[in-house]
Amino acid sequence: MSKITEQELEQITRAAKEEFPSDPALQQVHIARKTLALEAQHEGVGFLAYVKSLTNKAGRDHPPHEW
C-alpha cells in the first residue's frame, strides 16, 4: 500500500475546505475519497480495485465474529 505525501494531503484538504466551506462532514468524506483515489493511482490500479484490496486485507486480518 502506497502512502501519499504530506504535501498531497495538504493540497487535498485545502481543496475540500474551499469546495465545502461550511460542511466539515462533507470535507472529511471528500478528503477520504480523494486520498483513496490518489493511493490507488500510486499503486497503478483503479479506485474500486484498490478499495476492494483493502477490504480483502482487512477481512484476512480480522475474521468475522461468530455470534
CA 53 to CA 2: how far, in whole Å? 13
For residues 52 and 58, give the distance between their C-alpha atoms in angstroms, rounded to a whole number: 10
Alpha-carbon gap, residue 25 to 61, rounded angstroms? 29
Average pLDDT over residues 51-57: 86
| Structure confidence at residue 56 (pLDDT) | 81
- What the block records as the C-alpha cell of 20 is 465545502
Task: Give the residue extent of every domain in the chain.
Answer: 6-61
Query: 3, 43, 41, 35: which is closest to 16 by C-alpha?
Result: 35
Give residue-wise pLDDT tens across range 6-25: 999 999 999 999 999 999 99
Q: Report residue 55's pLDDT band, with 50, 70 and 90 as the boundaries.
A: confident
pLDDT at 3 over 90: no
Q: What pTM did the predictor assign?
A: 0.77
